[in-house]
Amino acid sequence: MSDLASKSVTPGRDASASAATGYRPSRTLPIVAEIRRQASRRRTQLALGFMVLLPLIILVAFEFGGGNGDDDSNGGGAFSSLVDLATSGGLNFALFCLAVSAGFLLVVVFALFAGDTVASEASWGSLRYLLAIPVPRARLLAVKLVVALGYAFLALFLLAGTGLLVGTLRYGWHPLGSTIAAQIPPGQGVLRLLGILAYLAVILLVVAGLAFLLSVLTDAALGAVGGAVLLWILSSILDQITALGSIRNALPTHYSDAWMGLLSTPVQTEDLAKGAISAIIYAVIFWGVAFFRFTRKDITS
């Protein structure tokens, strides 16, 4: 066992060059097994649990604070008027939960699931043993990416779903309020809310892609997660510098608030389309580099 632990896994040795009879690469590391492994981890349980807990915390805050935003809403920026709408119905409460979480909390959650998945295996020293099973590198990376995205999307929908449930129970089922247009009927409001969820999921693919790439490049999970969050914050800061002009359009965070176009009548789709296309391009590039690097990397940990 000590001899095995001292050896690195090179790209040419982890596939099926000397495969046993009946060996099928597609049967190694089943997705269900990876789902169970990640579900048993404390960070997964805490992250998903907090997505359920946050709407309850916001609800309690509104109950004790009056729920009107008071004087704080006068200088709260783009989302300030959403505070006044948050207590006017379940749809508005769910929208508020998403609005206050999209800028940072959801970024951290997506970075956590995508950035921790490979780097943690390397830091524990178990990555080379997975490859020695042998699990093809591309399959190992693909399974981990799919499961990481699955849990990240689950966290997003848990946040919105819990917000919609508790908000409806407390404030009732009413039209979706809009700060830039007339109220939207509940049926259409549900569709608009689903559209916002889908757009946020696409935009946050950039964070997941960057964190996943950093997870492949480093053995430190904290570095991968923190690096992705810091780069996202840096992009947000640069996007506020108007002197950069049209250069800001290329920043991954430039269209992060375009989901507000779904609250207008008619729906403003131009920025939504630009933001979705930009996010997908960035994510594909990050994932492509991650797969290219990992399939050629000498695994020593």
Tens-digit pLDDT profile for residues 36-61: 988 998 999 999 999 999 999 999 99
- The least confident of 26-30, 184-188, 201-205, 208-212 is 26-30
* Non-local CB neighbours of 49 within 8 Å, separated by 6+ positions: none
pLDDT exceeds cutoff 90 at 220: no
**Is residue 252 within 8 Å of 178, Cβ to Cβ?**
no
| Domains in the chain, number | 1
Tens-digit pLDDT profile for residues 71-115: 444 444 445 566 778 888 899 999 999 999 998 999 999 999 999
Between 10 and 62, the higher pLDDT residue: 62
Is residue 2 in some structural domain?
no
pLDDT exceeds cutoff 70 at 23: no
> Among residues 110, 83, 98, 256, which one has the least CA distance to residue 164?
98
Amino acid at 269: T
Is residue 12 in some structural domain?
no
Is residue 244 in some structural domain?
yes
Is residue 4 in some structural domain?
no
pLDDT exceeds cutoff 90 at 208: yes
Task: Determine the pLDDT at residue 300.
Answer: 53
Indicate the pLDDT class of residue 263, thresholds 50, 70 and 90: confident
pLDDT exceeds cutoff 80 at 10: no
Is residue 1 in some structural domain?
no
The whole model's pTM is what? 0.85
Count CB-CB contacts under 10 A for residue 5. Answer: 9
Task: Determine the pLDDT at residue 27.
Answer: 61
C-alpha of 226 from chain center: 14
Cα distance between residue 214 and residue 248, in whole Å? 24
Task: Determine the pLDDT at residue 84.
Answer: 73
State the residue range of the domain holding 121: 26-294
Cα distance between residue 169 and residue 72, in whole Å? 26
Between 106 and 295, the higher pLDDT residue: 106
15's tokens:
């596939």
What is the DSSP annotation of the chain? -HHHHT--B-TTTSSSTTPPTT--GGGSS-HHHHHHHHHTSHHHHHHHHHHHHHHHHHHHHHHHH-SS-GGGGGG-GGGHHHHHHHTT-HHHHHHHHHHHHHTTHHHHHHHHHHHHHHHHHHHHT-HHHHHTTT--HHHHHHHHHHHHHHHHHHHHHHHHHHHHHHHHHHH-S-PBP-SSSS-B-HHHHHHHHHHHHHHHHHHTHHHHHHHHHHHHH-S-HHHHHHHHHHHHHHHHHHHT-GGGGGGGGGSTTTTTTGGGGGGSSS---HHHHHHHHHHHHHHHHHHHHHHHHHTT--B--
Cα distance between residue 300 and residue 116, in whole Å? 18
Is residue 299 in some structural domain?
no
> Among residues 6, 301, 295, which one has the least CA distance to residue 135?
295
**Is residue 298 within 8 Å of 8, Cβ to Cβ?**
yes
Q: What is the mean pLDDT of the chain?
A: 83
Is residue 271 in some structural domain?
yes
